[in-house]
Chain A
């Protein structure tokens, strides 16, 4: 007997005996299994804004607001709000009858504790979002009054369950926040309650029967699965074992294939809160990129559309300014700035260098540089290879460096031992939250990740950033940001490449999953599975 037939026979027998199991997989109404990639380090969304935490925690916690796809405010734990005429007092009216998953009532004391004692203290972005908040008054259980030192219009965009989750005072007060049991055993007010987290396998959340939104959530259970291999993630989605994958869980190369298949869809909705921007950071403190002409030349020579079409399969939009064009909706974006050609402009780039007196040597080389690449996957390596080629005709000889995450972070943000670095930043729903950290002198914070590693410092710009943060009038605010973008297009401490479009790939049986600006960082409260 041949071994192969024996093995085939055995697998056939086992397969036949067990195949009904897999057929049963998705029948029980409304159990959603979705991809969480990579596995989160914890579920403490009040301590960390790490991406994978955002994929799970907002199902468990609520924020004061949610935001629809046009970034308009939708009431959540706060039913309404009122801003005083001077912009320095904001009064939130809270929803009555909301319960924590352990049965305790949610009150204004929780809001006060969350913002003053948690988010302002230990959250990575909280100290910035709430920096103007001096105190919170709680005249009754369902009213929270925020007292601000200066108007902070951007704060109202930072109140989602992902960015500023409301956490239970009665479980956290007096404990060490960073060692809290809540990190692995979260208790919120959200549509799903935490059941179990098996490391390396899944995190399981079940329907919150006492959720405050009538009739929601629709799903019985939500299970986040961790599958390390990208091809297997795609196979699991194709096989119906998982129904949803966001933030690149399904690589673009597979997403464009699934897009053509029956039963699967691809969307770029659900990322408008995040505003991711691909870019190059320059070390402006040492040659050759201490010279703005060099930085402008690199920005000029990049064929942004080529990167998008060939490496990101057409998903993305060429950057045209320091701000994403999605800020056009709120009147902050300025169009028509120089030095951001969508298809690259080699002649203009060469002219920049010639005019600045940076001339080629006998071998045609103007500068030798090392390009660091963000170690978040193959796409970035391909991008680096393209950039190396693109800069060659300019006389810039590039060497690529690709390291693992801790080494790379240490090099860029602690040692400053780099010349140019490919990266991407979340610009978030307001420039104060996501963009200021890139350019302000006060954001040169050695050892802190994803801030001003270019060490660009310009007092004129600092003054404009400070003014922009406090200006309540939308028209004037737009003018201030227009000036900021003009300065940055000329000084170019960071060359924005393209506005990234992350993809969500999902099984068509899953409906209503992208109803908010938060997408995968939202709650799934309205989502359901249809047969």
Chain B
């Protein structure tokens, strides 16, 4: 009872602490984005080929870009407090709608990547560490080194060349088949079919990271006193590895995974671009070049909240993995 109450209090406290952090992130982002030259009106008018100065002034007035910066910030903060992320003038849509539309594909890609990368990373790291300096270790280490060192866009393109163009197993890009527009289960299968190559591409990089981290972590733990003690007690090697060492060795991996969930939102720009995956990373990338600041701020806000939330979840997992870590 005691501990669950403490846990609830802890979570609430952390959530409360997150408010000023998110607020500071919004303000900081706002001013950071003002440093970029030109504004949304320049881009819109430029794409149009020509536009009169009156028209551009009119647009600036409509977008609220003619007001002083502080006023613009005030308006934005007020709207955010009221859960209104503003309007994207470029897309002619509310920002929340745009982000929501892209959030599902991002989440899909992110989740499948994290699961694949962390899952296989842990297994490979474990196999490598338990067979230290054997051929298994060497093969896995070389594999990790190569995948870590290979640029993502190149891996993506090579997978397309091999599996799409030569073998014809997977589509090159997109999330669905746009000639057919499947419905129901056919659509689920279709999306899964399109998900395979981007997931493999994106997870290869992280897979290498987790494999190396897991291996190092396992080796470090294996030299600890408690392992010697356990061995002296006569515990089987199998039990030492899976019950004692593995649990402790997972801590750094979980930490890393937590940190990277935030990075994955933006870090998948390359993969999203190569596979035309309609995620948030691409949206942010395009928004930057279009100077669509409302949209960018909205995406930044979402990732800030996500990072804060994931950190909290990681801390909770910590205390489950290692009861000595207290939540206070």
Contacts and interface: CB of A to CB of B under 8 A. Distances in A.
Interface of A: 2-4, 7, 11, 14-16, 18-19, 21-26, 28, 31, 33, 38-39, 41-42, 47-51, 122, 124-125, 127, 178-179, 183-184, 198-202, 204, 221, 223, 225-229, 231-232, 235-236, 238-239, 241, 404-407, 409-410, 413-414, 426, 437, 445-451
B205 to A, nearest CB: 15
A201 B278 contact: yes
B129 interface: no
A235 B173 contact: yes
Interface of B: 36-39, 42-53, 55-56, 58-59, 62, 90-93, 98, 101-102, 120, 123-124, 139-140, 143, 153, 157, 160-161, 163-165, 167-181, 189-190, 192-193, 196, 200, 272-276, 278-279, 282-283, 286, 289-291
A381 to B, nearest CB: 17
Contact of B124 (A3, A19, A184, A204): A3
Contacts of B286: 38-39
Contacts of B153: 229
A229 B190 CA distance: 22
B58 to A, nearest CB: 8
Given A50-B49, A184-B92, A41 B174 contact: no
B98 A448 contact: no
A21 B92 contact: no
A241 B171 contact: yes
Nearest to A122: B55
Contacts of A236: 172-174, 276
A5 to B, nearest CB: 11
A414 B172 CA distance: 42
Given A3-B140, A41-B90, A25 B177 contact: yes
4 tightest A-B CB contacts, nearest first = A406-B38, A15-B169, A200-B278, A50-B47
A239 B173 CA distance: 10
Interface of B is mostly: helix
B163 A11 contact: yes
B274 A449 contact: no
13 contacts: A11-B163, A50-B49, A178-B62, A179-B62, A184-B92, A184-B93, A201-B178, A231-B274, A235-B157, A236-B174, A406-B289, A407-B37, A409-B45
Contacts of B189: 18, 21
Contact of A450 (B49, B93, B140, B169): B49
A29 B49 CA distance: 37
Given A14-B196, A448-B51, A228 B178 contact: no
Given A223-B178, A241-B173, A228 B92 contact: no
Contact of B179 (A223, A447, A448): A223
A4 B139 CA distance: 10
A225 B174 contact: yes
B169 A449 contact: no
Q: Point out which of B36, B55, B172, B175 has the most chain A C-beta atoms below 10 A from its C-beta.
A: B172
A304 B46 CA distance: 27
A148 B139 CA distance: 80
B291 A24 contact: no
Contact of B143 (A3, A26, A404, A450): A3
A409 B49 contact: no
A22 B171 contact: yes
Given A3-B120, A409-B38, A409-B43, A11 B196 contact: yes
A518 to B, nearest CB: 16
B42 A232 contact: no
A410 B90 CA distance: 18
A22 B59 CA distance: 45
A449 to B, nearest CB: 5
Contacts of B192: 14, 18
B165 A235 contact: yes
B50 A448 contact: yes
Contacts of B172: 232, 235-236, 239, 241
Contacts of A7: 200
Q: Point out which of B38, B189, B278, B291 has the most chain A C-beta atoms below 10 A from its C-beta.
A: B38
B273 A41 contact: no
Contact of A200 (B38, B43, B176, B282): B282
Contacts of A3: 120, 123-124, 140, 143
Given A232-B274, A410-B37, A410-B38, A25 B180 contact: yes
A15 B192 CA distance: 11
A445 B53 contact: yes
Nearest to B102: A200
A451 B46 CA distance: 11
B164 A201 contact: no
Given A125-B49, A449-B45, A451-B50, A22 B170 contact: yes
Contacts of A200: 101-102, 278-279, 282-283
B327 to A, nearest CB: 36
Contacts of A426: 49
A50 B45 CA distance: 9
Contacts of A4: 143
Contacts of B181: 204
B276 A227 contact: yes
Contact of B173 (A48, A49, A227, A437): A227
Nearest to A196: B181
Contact of A232 (B51, B62, B160, B176): B160
Contacts of A33: 178-179
A271 B52 CA distance: 26
B213 to A, nearest CB: 16
Given A231-B274, A449-B45, A199 B51 contact: no
A201 B172 CA distance: 14
